[in-house]
Structure 1
Amino acid sequence: MDIPRIFTITESAHRIHNPFTPEKLATLGAALRQAPATRVLDLGSGSGEMLCTWARDHGIRGTGIDMSPLFTGQAKLRADELGVSDRVEFIHGDAADYVADEKAGVAACIGATWIGGGVAGTIELLAKSLCTGGLILIGEPYWRQRPPTEDVAKGCLAASISDYLALPLLLASFGDLGYDVVEMVLADQDGWDRYEAAKWLTMRRWLAANPDDDFAREVREQLNSEPVRYATYTREYLGWGVFALMKR
């Protein structure tokens, strides 16, 4: 069980696998006003930066589930590095059907709503692990400005314009599902730069170290095209944020 190899190469040096800076992640952790020992479930936990830093800074206890053995291993090392391995655990597994044995005060899926077939299905899945009055966290893209054509949307790596909503419509959609939006922290272009541009150096160094790898051609093609594609499309049109929801 693993995610596609291109991600384990391009994001192997990332601690945060979304367009959030450490400062934005800290802002979100503080904004939620979490009591010490709050249990946090993170589906698609990546390299564990959210749970590890929140355990250090806010005393939460957490469980993260991720399909990547590389990222899960990195998360465990990060927990050891920050001295919080007694408060967080990371499980290599499929988060798409994971329901916690012990209800959580915060249930999160940050940037991986494909696990539930979209936002609505992911919220429904997270709710199964949430205690009464708890918070659901959803990390999701939105259109900063509507693409003028379907080709521009595809340049943002969306299948079509309909894949994402404008921010007001995204916020309204949570209400349509029966949830109040009680907090949000939005990525900025610096966060996007740190997420996307950091991949380019990782790819270049991987190519230097693995010139004969069967995957090298695909990595080289992506390195050739990604800087211009990103600057032309994603950076201009696509937003991203984390939204805190409570059941009405």
Structure 2
Amino acid sequence: MITNESDLPPRLGSLTFHGPLSEARATRMIERLAAAEPADVLDIGCGWGELLLRVLEAAPAAKGAGLDINAEDLARGRALAEERGLADRVAFVEESALGTDRGPVDAILCLGSSHALCDPELPHDPAVALRELRRLVRPGGRVVLGEGFWERVPTEADLAGMWPGARAEDHFTLGGLVDLAIEAGFRPAWIETASADEWEEFESGYRYDTEVWLATHPDHPLADETRERVDRQRSTWVNGYRGILGITYLTLVAVA
């Protein structure tokens, strides 16, 4: 089957950040990071690196590196860096973060990407990711970790509506995550969680372009498989983890 790429829906074009993160919350995070005057910033699972670029704008002496395995997102990040005059201060690198030697640095961003620090053959373990983050940051350095947690422990009925194979063991509670961070050698300087509005903005923005495309291209050769994928994604949210799965943003300081 031959299709014209210009006929396909844009990928995540309606999202500023690849996660439930508002402009206001991002600004506060950036201000706290920039106040520490980092010399180098590492973004793990950076996507197109919007938050990384904003940190570099707020900390003009800093240089940054963003790691991801999605070439399309990285290309978007490089284009954004060029537009903002930051291309000489940031590198977007297509590589795995597993076992990376790109530390130690003064600041790390790891939002929704801690799995990139863990063995993909094993169940995701935030404790392992936190120990890796501590290895990669200098004493006194900052880490902003965005991590999923259970707002309440899900029932079997809740889990049945989520992603395939969802288990109660997939996430910790918020208190459990904070305890793991302390055990890994951090102090939790700031603890915050995504609001319902941030979740709705993200979830709707994630599918917006594709939903509009489906409405205007109902007979496209790829419409059926795209519709099935998007309907499945949306259902796991509205019929599954909505109000149960939370995202916390932990600003952590590495203990000397």
Scaled to the shorter chain, the TM-score interval is 0.7 to 0.9
The match for 1:94 among 73, 85, 96 is: 96
Change (3 A) 1:128 1:229: closer
Are 2:158 and 1:152 aligned? yes
1:15 aligned partner: 16
Residues 187 and 242 (structure 1 numbering): CA distance in 2 closer, same or farther, change over 3 Å?
same
Distance in 1 separating the partners of 2:19 and 2:191: 15
Q: 1:69 aligns with which of 52, 68, 71?
A: 71
**Counterpart position of 1:231:** 238
Structure 1: 5+ residue runs without aligned partners? 1-7
CA distance in 1, matches of 2:138, 2:180: 22
CA distance in 1, matches of 2:161, 2:181: 27
Which residue pairs with 1:135 in the alignment?
142
Q: Write 1 or 2 for the structure with the bigger share of helix.
A: 1
5 Å-filtered alignment, 1:1-248, equals 11-36=12-37, 38-59=39-60, 60-100=62-102, 103-117=104-118, 118-147=125-154, 149-157=155-163, 159-207=166-214, 208=216, 211-213=220-222, 216-248=223-255
Q: Using the alignment, how far apart are the partners of 2:87 and 2:27 within structure 1?
A: 19
Is the CA contact 1:142–1:240 (under 8 Å) kept in the aligned structure 2? yes
The answer to whether the 8 A contact 2:21-2:202 is kept is yes
Q: Is the 8 A contact 1:32 1:183 kept in 2?
A: no
Q: Deviations over 1:105-128 (max 9, x none)?
A: 012321011112232222233333
State the one-letter code of the partner of 1:153: L
Matches of 1:29 and 1:184 in 2, distance apart?
14
Residues 1:99 and 1:22: Cα distance change in structure 2 (over 3 Å): farther
Q: In percent, how many aligned pairs have the same letter? A: 23
> Is the CA contact 2:52–2:109 (under 8 Å) kept in the aligned structure 1?
no
* Contact 1:154 1:160 (8 Å CA) reproduced: no
Aligned residues: 237
Q: Hey, what does 2:6 align to over in structure 1?
A: none
Partners of 2:142 and 2:58 in 1: CA distance: 19
Do the aligned residues in 1 keep the contact of 2:12 with 2:209 (CA within 8 Å)? yes
Question: How far apart, in 2, do the equivalents of 1:91 and 1:166 lie?
Answer: 33
User: What CA deviation, in whole Å up to 9, does each residue of 1:9-42 have, x standing for no partner?
Assistant: 7535433111112222111111335344531101
Residues 79-130 of structure 1 deviation map (CA, whole Å, 9 limit, x = unaligned):
1222222222211121223221x63101232101111223222223333332
Question: Aligned partner of 1:73: which letter?
Answer: A
In our comparison, the structure showing a higher alpha carbon Rg is 2
5+ residue gaps, structure 2, are 1-8, 119-124
Structure 2 counterpart of 1:5: none
1: CA distance, partners of 2:54 / 2:191: 19
Contact kept, 8 Å, 1:108 with 1:126, in 2: the verdict is: no
- Residue 228 of structure 1 deviates from its aligned partner by 4.7
Counterpart contact for 2:138–2:254, Cα < 8 Å: no
More divergent stretch after superposition (199-208 vs 167-176) = 199-208
Looking at structure 2, the residues matched to 29 and 63 of structure 1 have their Cα atoms a distance apart, in angstroms, of 16
**Counterpart in the other structure of 2:121:** none
* Distance change >3 Å, CA 78–CA 184, structure 1 → 2: farther
Change beyond 3 A, Cα 1:137–1:127: same
TM-score (norm 2): 0.81
CA contact (8 A) 1:43 1:64 kept: yes
Mapped contact 2:149–2:174 kept (Cα < 8 A): yes
User: What is the alpha-carbon distance in structure 2 between the residues aligned to residue 246 and residue 120 of structure 1?
Assistant: 16
